[in-house]
């Protein structure tokens, strides 16, 4: 009977004052501020990219401006996860904010699309490490029963950026120029750093069982980049680049991610695979929604930004609901809901290419936002719950790695579809349809493996039994 009563108590949602009380509340406020600033930048850049394309040209590199960010995160996150355990949050965050700021400044003065791609790579390295610091801090600092609340708050920090980010991006593009969109966040990041550093945990975390390795993440990012480069530009180098890229990337990937990730073995390996598929499917659509609405449907940048606003607010709403039910509904079911919503939204984008009413993509992509809000925080929560005590950041970094690999390959493969379609004379519409189709395939694969995610309480119950 006592066990049943304890279980029932665990199902009750935690109180919000447990998240904001005392020193923990100051830490929460610092993490939320950083999340909001990064969110505004991401949404502003997504909105201004059609204007960037008009100024700099090279539409075949459009997808690379998103893939480069993903590849930078891809290289940084596994290093950051282990560095957090070894060196602590403050040193790591200081270095990564400097790198992120350098990327913003470089993007603001980029003379070509290729230069912008390299600037976005720097942004990805810095932003990926900030992301790892935030989630690792949640895993190490907050009790398991309120982690879902904290992740919901982090998602809620996208509401205001979702409302003001796309209109702000459109305003920059239509007035002073899109370059100022990269400059404005720099002083705000300095303010965020001043507020956040005192609230971060002091000193280094528990020593990890692994050394911080720079080699395999960098090899993995380089191999993935070679594959995308080969797919983006048809030339005599296409096949060699793809073959060599795969030869580098696969062995590096196997050394970094949990054993069984490539076959979605039940447990944390399946969670890592799910994170990859979710982000791949989403970015295959989201990175190209503004381009589709402006270049195919003839809408303005501001009108395209409205869709991003709807999606972002819906994401926050889905995450809020997920935080209410995360202790009662299994991770596999929540991720399956997200996968179905993602597939529906991507199909709506394909229909928009064949003259469906504009309400179709607006409604469909908003539904996708709800699904992403449900599925996206569920996957890292399932990993936190299944992680070994003292190794949360290191084990979580593998899932974050696969998430950012999905970001890089989702936008990269869709961008390759656009580039190859134009190179073969089939036009932008066919290329976008191919990219959205890649996203649908990823969503359906995610639906198939959702039942393999870790169940509630596995690691926590084991630790309680050991005590």
For residue 188 the two structure tokens come to 């705000």
| Mean pLDDT across the chain | 81
Residue 78 confidence (pLDDT) above 50 = yes
**What is the distance between the alpha carbons of residues 86 and 391, in angstroms, rounded to a whole number?**
11
Q: Which long-range contacts (CB under 8 A, 24 or more apart) does 261-265 make?
A: 261/398, 261/402, 264/449, 264/452, 265/452
pLDDT (tens digit, 9 = 90+) per residue, 183-193?
888 888 887 77
* Angstrom distances, CA of residue 299 to CA of 92, 237, 289: 42, 37, 11
User: pLDDT over 90 for what percent of the chain?
Assistant: 24
- Kindly give the interhelix angle for 359-386 and 147-156, rounded to the nearest 10 degrees: 150
Segment 55-83 shows an average pLDDT of 80
Percent residues over pLDDT 70 in the chain? 87
In this predicted model, what pLDDT tens digit does every residue of 401-432 receive, in sequence order? 788 888 888 988 998 898 888 878 888 899 99
Whole-angstrom Cα Rg for the chain: 21
In this structure, the number of other CB atoms found within 10 A of the CB of residue 348 comes to 22
pLDDT at 86 over 90: no
Task: Pick left, alpha or beta for residue 393 (phi over 0 → left; psi -120 to 50 → alpha; otherwise beta).
Answer: alpha
Model confidence pTM above 0.85: no
What are the domain boundaries of the chain? 23-199+209-462
Q: Give the pLDDT confidence of 348-406 residue by residue, as tens digits.
A: 999 999 889 999 999 999 999 999 999 998 998 888 777 666 556 666 777 877 888 88
pLDDT given for residue 10 in this prediction: 45
CATH architecture label of 23-199+209-462: Up-down Bundle (1.20)
The arithmetic mean of pLDDT across residues 231-242, rounded, is: 79
**Among 101-105, 202-206, 232-236, the least confident range:** 202-206
């Amino acid at each position: 009977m006592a066990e049943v009563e304890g279980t029932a108590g665990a199902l009750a949602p935690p109180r919000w004052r447990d998240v904001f009380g005392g020193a923990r509340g100051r830490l929460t406020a610092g993490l939320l501020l950083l999340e909001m600033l990064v969110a505004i930048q991401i949404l502003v850049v997504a909105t201004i990219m059609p204007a960037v394309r008009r100024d700099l040209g090279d539409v075949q590199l459009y997808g690379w401006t998103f893939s480069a960010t993903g590849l930078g995160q891809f290289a940084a996150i596994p290093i950051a996860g282990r560095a957090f355990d070894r060196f602590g949050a403050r040193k790591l965050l200081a270095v990564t904010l400097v790198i992120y700021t350098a990327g913003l400044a470089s993007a603001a003065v980029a003379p070509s699309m290729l230069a912008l791609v390299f600037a976005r790579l720097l942004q990805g390295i810095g932003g990926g490490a900030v992301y790892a610091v935030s989630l690792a801090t949640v895993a190490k600092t907050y009790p398991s029963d309120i982690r879902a609340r904290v992740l919901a708050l982090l998602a809620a920090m996208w509401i205001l950026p979702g409302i003001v980010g796309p209109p702000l991006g459109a305003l920059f593009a239509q007035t002073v120029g899109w370059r100022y969109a990269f400059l404005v966040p720099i002083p705000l990041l300095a303010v965020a750093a001043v507020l956040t550093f005192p609230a971060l945990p002091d000193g280094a975390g528990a020593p990890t069982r692994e050394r911080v390795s720079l080699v395999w993440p960098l090899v993995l990012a380089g191999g993935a980049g070679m594959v995308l480069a080969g797919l983006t530009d048809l030339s005599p180098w296409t096949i060699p680049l793809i073959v060599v890229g795969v030869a580098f990337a696969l062995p590096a990937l196997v050394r970094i991610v949990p054993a069984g990730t490539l076959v979605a073995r039940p447990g944390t390996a399946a969670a890592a695979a799910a994170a990859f598929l979710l982000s791949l499917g989403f970015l295959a659509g989201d990175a190209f929604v503004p381009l589709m609405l402006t270049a195919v449907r003839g809408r303005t940048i501001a009108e395209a930004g409205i869709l991003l606003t709807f999606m972002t607010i819906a994401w926050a709403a889905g995450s809020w609901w997920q935080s209410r039910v995360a202790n009662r509904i299994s991770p596999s079911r929540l991720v399956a809901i997200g996968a179905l919503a993602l597939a529906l939204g991507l199909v709506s984008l394909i229909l928009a290419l064949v003259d469906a009413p504009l309400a179709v993509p607006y409604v469909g992509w908003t539904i996708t936002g709800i699904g992403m809000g449900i599925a996206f925080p569920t996957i890292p929560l399932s990993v936190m719950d299944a992680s070994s005590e003292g190794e949360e950041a290191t084990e979580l970094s593998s899932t974050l790695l696969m998430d950012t690999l999905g970001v890089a390959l989702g936008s990269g493969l869709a961008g390759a579809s656009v580039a190859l379609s134009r190179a073969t004379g089939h036009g932008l519409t066919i290329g976008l349809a191919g990219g959205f189709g890649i996203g649908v395939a990823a969503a359906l694969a995610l639906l198939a493996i959702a039942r393999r995610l870790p169940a509630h309480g596995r690691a926590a119950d084991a630790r309680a039994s050991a005590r």
